[in-house]
């Protein structure tokens, strides 16, 4: 049975609710518990416990060659499992922690290979969500936490998404309401002289470059032909039940694509924005935000993708977005959800 602790009016980090204590106790006892972060819900387990880490992989159905991010509530914890902190890493940590940035650093030998999937580096982040921070400070252990979805599904941005995927498979869910950023943290490999973005996310390339100068982007993010440096980026991801295609063109072109699917007898879902929500005739039209503010799109993207599962559609047609700022992360996730299927005018 999966417990649900509602703490969504939680604002003060210092008020430790009894619910947080209960969740922390379960984590100390090698159990796995989901909790909100400012990006998406994470499925936490004690990173120093092989038993807990095994439970994370089992609950998600996650391939064991995909390493986990270790979450900490206190920078001092870093030194217990990281071999060294290059100066550029130090700078981005100071600038963006707590926040949606994961750094890849050289790991110490004693970190379990189960967490890092046998790599000699480790991914670490300090989330800024008050509930996540309170829980991490309470347990005072490094907590491994992948997104709390079944492997392959869109990441959860609401507690009920976690329940839909993992109820009965995990010990509990701390419900802190909607997460915020809505797409996962930026993963930055700091083991190279020029750091490399392995996964675009809540912190943009520009924001990083303002602090440490030039930052590269993993070439695999620019095409689907290259092998990604981050193991997780090679898997099909973020997918709703129905296939998804991205359409890049005018509203008339977009409608002609919808009509083409309808002519094949398909029920068509449309993923659009407030600017175009009245422009299309389809079986289900879902608005994920405003094109003029891509933060709103990032924030509602996964919820929108999940909501098509209740619409009984055969195909989902999505608008395309600019890759500026957080648009980089939005398009990266949409392209993965679509298996890189884009129809250009
Ligand atoms: O926002 C987030 O980062 C969320 C919340 C819960 O914190 N977590 C998250 O974890 O997205 P997950 O497991 O879904 O994604 C972790 C990504 C994967 O693509 C994984 O391959 C990559 O980080 N990763 C982990 N350790 C790595 C390493 N040592 N080298 C390269 N990539 C690594
Ligand atoms: Mg994930």
Look up the pTM and report it: 0.96
Q: Which of 109, 102, 114 is nearest to 81 (CA)?
A: 109
Q: Which residues contact 193 (CB under 8 A, 6 or more apart)?
A: none
Q: Which residue lies with its CA nearest to atom 33 of ligand 1?
A: 230
Ligand 1 pocket (Cβ < 6 Å) reads 37, 39-40, 42, 66-69, 100, 102, 104, 116, 119, 121-123, 125, 127, 145-147, 184-185, 187, 198-199, 230-233
Looking at all shown ligands, the one closest to residue 233's CA atom is 1
Q: Which residue lies with its CA nearest to atom 15 of ligand 1?
A: 146
Annotated binding site for L-threonine: 39, 71, 125, 145, 185
Q: What is the pLDDT of residue 17?
A: 75
| Ligand 1 pocket mutation, candidates 147, 153, 174, 181, criterion most atoms within 8 A of CB | 147
pLDDT > 90? residue 281 = yes
The whole-chain average pLDDT of the chain stands at 94
Alpha helix stretches (DSSP H) within 268-326: 294-307
CA-CA-CA-CA dihedral for 9, 14, 19, 21, to nearest 10: 170
pLDDT > 80? residue 24 = yes
Cα(154)–Cα(14) distance, rounded to whole angstroms? Answer: 32
Q: Which residue lies with its CA nearest to atom 30 of ligand 1?
A: 230
pLDDT by residue (tens digit) across 33-70? 999 999 999 999 999 999 999 999 999 999 999 999 99
Looking at all shown ligands, the one closest to residue 186's CA atom is 1
- Separation of 69 CA from ligand 1 center, angstroms? 5
| Ligand 1 pocket mutation, candidates 70, 96, 123, 336, criterion most atoms within 8 A of CB | 123
| Ligand 1 pocket mutation, candidates 47, 67, 107, criterion most atoms within 8 A of CB | 67
Cα(257)–Cα(291) distance, rounded to whole angstroms? Answer: 21
- Contact indicator for 59, 34 with CB cutoff of 8 Å: no
Handedness of CA 68, 74, 75, 79 (dihedral sign): negative
pLDDT > 90? residue 222 = no
Q: Which ipTM value was assigned to this complex?
A: 0.99
């Amino acid at each position: 049975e999966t417990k649900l602790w509602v703490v969504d009016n939680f604002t003060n980090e210092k008020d430790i609710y009894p619910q947080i204590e209960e969740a922390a106790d379960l984590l100390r006892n090698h159990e796995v518990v989901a909790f909100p972060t400012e990006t998406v819900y994470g499925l936490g387990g004690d990173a120093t416990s092989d038993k807990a880490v095994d439970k994370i992989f089992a609950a998600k159905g996650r391939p064991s060659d995909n390493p986990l991010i270790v979450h900490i509530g206190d920078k001092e914890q870093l030194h217990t499992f990281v071999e060294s902190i290059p100066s550029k890493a130090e700078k981005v940590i100071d600038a963006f922690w707590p926040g949606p940035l994961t750094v890849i650093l050289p790991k110490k030998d004693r970190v379990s290979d189960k967490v890092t999937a046998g790599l000699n580096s480790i991914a670490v982040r300090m989330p800024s969500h008050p509930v996540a921070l309170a829980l991490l400070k309470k347990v005072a252990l490094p907590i491994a936490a992948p997104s709390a979805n079944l492997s392959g599904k869109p990441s959860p941005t609401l507690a009920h998404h976690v329940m839909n995927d993992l109820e009965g498979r995990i010990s509990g869910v701390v419900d802190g309401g909607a997460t915020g950023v809505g797409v996962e943290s930026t993963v930055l490999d700091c083991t190279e002289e020029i750091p490399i973005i392995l996964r675009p996310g809540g912190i943009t390339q520009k924001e990083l470059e303002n602090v440490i100068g030039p930052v590269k982007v993993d070439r695999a993010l620019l095409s689907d032909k290259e092998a990604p440096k981050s193991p997780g980026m090679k898997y099909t991801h973020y997918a709703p039940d129905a296939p998804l295609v991205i359409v890049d063109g005018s509203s008339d072109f977009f409608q002609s694509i919808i009509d083409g699917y309808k002519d094949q007898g398909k029920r068509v879902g449309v993923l659009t924005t407030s600017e175009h929500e009245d422009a299309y005739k389809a079986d289900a039209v879902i608005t994920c935000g405003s094109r003029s503010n891509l933060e709103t799109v990032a924030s509602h993207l996964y919820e929108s993708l999940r909501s098509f599962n209740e619409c009984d559609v055969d195909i989902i047609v999505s608008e395309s977005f600019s890759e500026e700022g957080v648009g980089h992360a939005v398009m990266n996730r949409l392209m993965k959800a679509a298996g890189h299927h884009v129809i250009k005018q």
